[in-house]
Amino acid sequence: MGGLLPRPPSLNSVQIKHSRTLRFVSNAAIGQNITYANLLDTMIYSTTAILGYDLFQLVKIRWVRMWYDSVSGTPGTVNLQYVNVTTGLEGDQDYHSGTSMGLEPAYLVAIPKARSAASFFHESSTAVAFSLVCPQGTVIDVGLDLVATPGMYAQAAANALVGATTGVTYFRGLDGLAKATSAMPPAYGVNITQ
């Protein structure tokens, strides 16, 4: 009786952490770099009809998967490379490729090598996360770990919105653009910015 009260336990993580697979479908032939800003711009919230911010401040790529089903007998290829060339850091530079002969879809799974630059968390920047090349109609799944860290990083502003409702969460294309201009819009029924 009458012993000391134990101290409150430490709180080791107050960040909001989220792991999610996002799916996109190319509506044109693509040959493009995807930046960390593009990845973080895929999920935004609006503060006005034209201004939005990223929901998360940090992103890490777990993997990218791509499928493309070509016409029978006609080859179709999907390619991805983790380039991420920034001062002092390099991506693994591995080239991932899958080809279809029209009998079954071209398919690839591209996982960043452990301890390569692409395998770490990144804040919003124009640094290239990966480059991809694919035909129109390619399904692209991106496995991401996302973190919202209050007070550590400023919320990154997304590209301008059009006619958004204040306080609503929206999704954008893999290229960070609105539905009207994205070459890789989300492939599911969600709020998509115009």
Report yes or no on 161 lying in a domain: no
48 belongs to a structural domain = yes
List Cβ neighbours of 150 (8 Å cut-off, separation of 6 or more). Answer: 14, 15
Does 168 fall in a domain? no
Angle at 118 between CA 117 and CA 123, to 5 degrees: 90
Q: Residue 116 pLDDT more than 80?
A: yes
Give the pLDDT confidence of 74-105 residue by residue, as tens digits: 889 999 998 866 666 655 678 899 998 878 89
**What local confidence, expressed as pLDDT, does residue 60 receive?**
96
Which whole number is the average pLDDT over 52-81? 91
Q: Give the domain extent around 43.
A: 16-154
Residue 125 belongs to a domain = yes
Q: For strand 95-100 and strand 106-110, is the pairing parallel, antiparallel, or unpaired?
A: unpaired
Task: Report the alpha-carbon distance of residue 4 to residue 21 in Å, rounded.
Answer: 48
In a domain, 175, yes or no: no
Largest interatomic CA distance in the chain: 83
The CATH number covering residue 121 comes to: 2.60.120.220
Residue type, 153: Y
DSSP 67-133: EE-PPTT--EEEEEE----BTTB-----EEEEEE-SSS-EEEEE-PPTTSGGGS-EES-SSEEEEEE
Mean pLDDT for the stretch of residues 42-49:
89
pLDDT score recorded for residue 71: 79
pLDDT at 83: 83
> Is 167 inside any structural domain?
no
The residue ranking higher by pLDDT, 53 or 141, is 141
**Nearest of 32, 58, 54 to residue 193 by alpha carbon:** 54
More confident residue, 192 or 16: 16
pTM, full prediction: 0.88
